[in-house]
Structure formats: C-alpha cells, structure tokens
Amino acid sequence: MAPIIAPISEATIDSYNGCLSAVAQERLWLGLVGPADLERSRSFVRANIQLGNPHFVATDDERVVGWCDITRNKLEGFRHCGELGMGVLKEYRGQGIGERLARAALQQARVAGLERVELVVYASNEPAIKLYEKLGFAVEGLHRRARKLDGRYDDVISMALLFEPKLDSLGREVTETGFAAGTIGDLSMRVGEDVRDLHNMGYDWGQITNVARGRMTLEEMWKQGPRRGDKDQQ
C-alpha cells in the first residue's frame, strides 16, 4: 500500500527522528550530517504542532519514511515567511512521496496565511531542485562554495515560492474555499450548507456571516431561530 501522508503527531515523533537521522547521515542533502537529537526533534515538532506550522509525515506501516515541514519566521516583519525542509528515505524515493508531502505542507501554509516559502538546497541536489521547480519555486540566489564537507565544495541555491492572490473573473480575491470572499459560494463552503436555503428559511445575512466567520456555530444559530425582518423578506 502507498504510504499515508498525514500531519505529524506526538506518536510519530520518534520515528520521524529516525527518518531525519537516516537522511542526514547520507551526508549529501541536509545541513545536518549526523544523527538527529531526539530531544531537539521533540521540541521542534511540539512547537510546530502548537504554532500550527505545517509538518507532514509519510508513514508506511507506522514507520515514518518522509517528512516536509514549513516553519514560520518569528521575527516581526518576516512572519509572512516560512522555511521549508523535507526528506524521504532513500528506498522510498522516486515514488511521488516527496511531491505529495510538499503539496500538503504548501496547501496548509497557504491556508495559514503564509505568503512566502523559502528554502536552501545544494546545487548538486538535482532531484530536489527539479521538485521545487515543479512546485513553482524560483531560484533567488547562488551562494558559491558555501559548503565544504569531506574536502568537497558545494554551492548553495536559495529558492522561494510566493503565493500570489488568486483572482476570479471579476478580479475579486479568491479565498481558500475556492470562491471570492463573502460570496454565496464562499459563505456556503464556510458554513457547510447552501446559504441561499438558510436565507430563504428566514436567517438573516448577519447570522449567516457570524457562522461563516466562526463567531457562532450552526447549532447556536438554529437555537437563535430565524430573525430576518420584514424588510429583508422580498
């Protein structure tokens, strides 16, 4: 069965640490070139979960075989940026797992309001560079001979992906629901019901918008009852 892609959890941290260690110890792809420290991984993952940073793992029969994380920058002025890191165990590469992981993490990053995802990659890492280009990343810089490991130099390339606002045919910004903000489609996706029906049932747009914005639940609106005034009913 194909590995499952899911957000990392407390239960998968130790296995994630093993996966990270294995990729690091290849001494080719990551900044880290030795075993990963379990305590550091635990605090990194727990912080990501708590802060809502995207961090996905691929698991095969409960063993973590790949990961992709995007850490939001904490500095004022840079909080719209996140840094991406990823890896897949050698024996699982070339099966689409890296791309699935990266797409899941990027989707969550976009929904979380990140506007720019950055990364650095060794110039010798053709598979990763090709993947990032496929995902829409652009090269922004070349750091010549930035790494010297085991007597060999490698250049470091910086790349970034900007999430451009999506516009509909009327030039309105499309939200993560796939519809322009505040439209019937957008409200219906957020509320989970066709809002035209709710309005026809007598619920006013204020009530419906409150549910869409998470200020009250549908159940609370049912309890409140329809409160559309006569002027609203045409």
Ligand X SMILES: CC(C)(COP(=O)(O)OP(=O)(O)OC[C@H]1O[C@@H](n2cnc3c(N)ncnc32)[C@H](O)[C@@H]1OP(=O)(O)O)[C@@H](O)C(=O)NCCC(=O)NCCS
Residues making contact with ligand X (CB under 6 A): 23, 29-30, 86-88, 93-99, 119, 121, 125-128, 130-131, 134
Nearer Cβ to ligand X (25/183): 25
Smallest distance from ligand X to CB 41, Å: 16
Smallest distance from ligand X to CB 216, Å: 42
Smallest distance from ligand X to CB 130, Å: 4
Nearer Cβ to ligand X (1/170): 1
Nearer Cβ to ligand X (127/178): 127
Smallest distance from ligand X to CB 213, Å: 37
Rounded-to-10 torsion of CA 222, 223, 228, 233? 40
Nearer Cβ to ligand X (57/86): 86
Smallest distance from ligand X to CB 58, Å: 8
Nearer Cβ to ligand X (88/198): 88
